Structure 1
Amino acid sequence: MSRASRSAVLLLAVATLGFLETSCGTDHSQVRFVHASVDAAPQDVAADGKTVATGLAYGNVSPASDYVVLSAGTRRIEVRDTGTTTDLINSTIAFASQKKYTLLIVGLANSVPPTIAALLKTDDNSAPPSGNIKLRLIHAASGPTAGDPPLVDVYIVTPGTDITNVTPTISSLAYQQASDYQNLAAATYEVIVTDSTDASKFRWSDQTYPLTAGQIRTLITLHSSVPNNMSLLELSDLN
């Protein structure tokens, strides 16, 4: 084999190796964890025995920004009270390559039987159209006692809008469901959450969010200690 031929073969081998390394390096998922179980203590989360979140308190997300990187595939997820060894959740969950996820700890830890569970939602962080934002809502407000939480309507409106005769932006969202992403013009929005069966449209949550072009946000309903109220946890998905 000539020197030129040997050089060509070597270059091909190096290029192939580089391709394989790049391909293998992309075989991962990204996950963030949200504590939405109102009666559960701060939690530790492990993936295949490795701690990926610790001391996660109710109404918080870990990491505080961005995501934890996990190998794609089926992973064993364990959730337990911080500093203990007894699992409240022990589940095998499939994570697809190149995907981003929000994993929520939902339900009640102290109900009989406990309803605490892991709820996985796929994130879509692809950029919105120019000049727009994307916004979705996940209904995780279980309430302080066992039972079926009500369906909620969500109004995403200009601040100060009278919603009496307004059609909800998101209708009849069930507990543990995520809405579709709403593509909206960048602006300041008032987000109002009501019981979908309540004709009076009593406001369980009413918060305002200034949103600039290119941003993506997830809002999560949480049970509030205030009677007849919910809070909204805002996650910054992009920008």
Structure 2
Amino acid sequence: MNAGRISRRQALRLGTAALVVGAGSGLAGCGGGQEGQDAPQLRFVNATVDYSPADFWVDGLRGPTNVSSGGGFTGYGFVREGSRPVGVGPSGGAATVTVQRSFATGSFTTALALMGSGGNEELRFLDENHSAAPAGSVRLRVLNATSASGYDVYVQSGAPSSSDTPLVAQGYNSLSDFTDLPSGWRRVYITNRNSLSVIFRSQEFNFPGRTVGSLVIVPVGASLAVVALQEQGVAARLIHHA
């Protein structure tokens, strides 16, 4: 994860295949930028269950295609600054949801395709312009992209106990405030609200110090996955490890 806000970085091409991360993986350190690359940058996450896979659209043109449901994601791509239509739809078809979004010079944004609470798909955007966490800490927030009424999320080395304070993911499309947590190798544990019974336990994952990110809880059939999104950086899809 990056060590603070970056105004320029080398963009990954839109359409990068979804990545399932194995044990020993983590969010990598920041990469080198290129001078003059101040155009807005945008990436996508398919957190729907209906679009399997999905195509994304920008300015009426098809962008990344065949992005898998259940947390498939792309790398960043450049978009023009100003107000732009951004859409999503089933692979090979037309965009069925289109939202007008304004993009500022040098900005980084993640567009999340969500399954609406009534079964209708929608787009949500995460701005990536937050200040770095203190040394020895990672700054995280959580978003619930499932239909569940809420989860407690723990980012720590061992199973949660009554003395631990969770990040709270309220109902569908609820985004928590940021919380600073100790950095390093951790697992993501998820329980139902006000319960210590673990329903999701990720592989060990490295959360480097001074980084900022969002954890998106996505539906995968009757199970869950977590998409870890580094602000202005890389992403990873975490799956349940019993």
TM-score by length of 2: 0.70
Alignment counterpart, residue 42 of structure 2, candidates 31, 40, 48? 31
Q: 1:59-107: CA deviations, max 9, x gaps?
A: 21112xxx222122211112222222x3221221223333221110101
**Cα distance, 1:174–1:83 mapped onto 2, change above 3 Å:** same
Distance in structure 1 (CA, Å) of the matches to 2:174 and 2:119: 20
Number of residue-to-residue matches in the alignment: 196
The offset of 1:214, in angstroms, is 3.9
Q: Is contact 1:151-1:172 (8 Å) kept?
A: yes
What secondary structure is seen at the aligned counterpart in 2 of 1:54?
A: coil
For residue 167 of structure 1, report the CA deviation from its aligned partner: 4.6
In structure 2, the gaps of 5 or more residues are 1-35, 235-242
Q: Secondary structure at the match of 1:32?
A: strand
Partner in structure 2 of residue 62 of structure 1:
74
- Answer 1 or 2: which has greater helix percent: 1
| 2:153 counterpart of 1:154 | yes
Q: Against the structure 1 CA distance between its residues 179 and 124, is the aligned structure 2 distance closer, same or farther, given a 3 Å change threshold?
A: farther
**Equivalent in 131, 149, 157 of residue 136 of structure 2:** 131
In the alignment, is residue 179 of structure 1 matched against residue 188 of structure 2? no
* TM-aligned CA distance change 1:171 to 1:124, over 3 Å: same
Larger Rg: 1
- Aligned equivalent of 1:42: 53
CA distance in 1, matches of 2:37, 2:226: 36
SS of residue paired to 2:40: strand
Quote the residue 1:88 is aligned against: 96
**Cα distance between partner residues in 2 of 1:230 and 1:78:** 25
RMSD of aligned alpha carbons: 2.6
Alignment match of 2:224 (pick from 225, 230, 233): 230
Deviations 1:98-130 (A, max 9, x none): 32211101015xx9x751011111123643323
Q: Which residue of 1 aligns with 2:87?
A: 78
Question: Higher relative CO (CA 8 A, sep ≥ 6), structure 1 or 2?
Answer: 2
In 2, Cα distance between the equivalents of 1:31 and 1:128? 23
Q: Which amino acid aligns with 1:118?
A: L
CA contact (8 A) 1:133 1:186 kept: yes
Contact 2:112 2:125 in 1 (8 A): yes
**5 Å matches for 1:92-171?**
92-107=100-115, 114-124=119-129, 126-142=131-147, 149-157=148-156, 159-163=157-161, 165-171=162-168
Distance (whole Å) between structure 2 residues aligned to residue 136 and residue 209 of structure 1: 16
Q: Which amino acid aligns with 1:76?
A: P
Q: 1:214 to 1:139 in 2, by over 3 A?
A: same
| Cα deviation 1:124-161 (Å, max 9, x = unaligned) | 3643323332333221123xxxxxx312222223x224
- 1:9-35 Cα shifts (integer Å, max 9, x gaps): xxxxxxxxxxxxxxx974x42211000
Which 4+ runs in 1 deviate beyond 3 A?
124-127, 214-217, 236-239
Identity of counterpart residues, as a percentage? 22
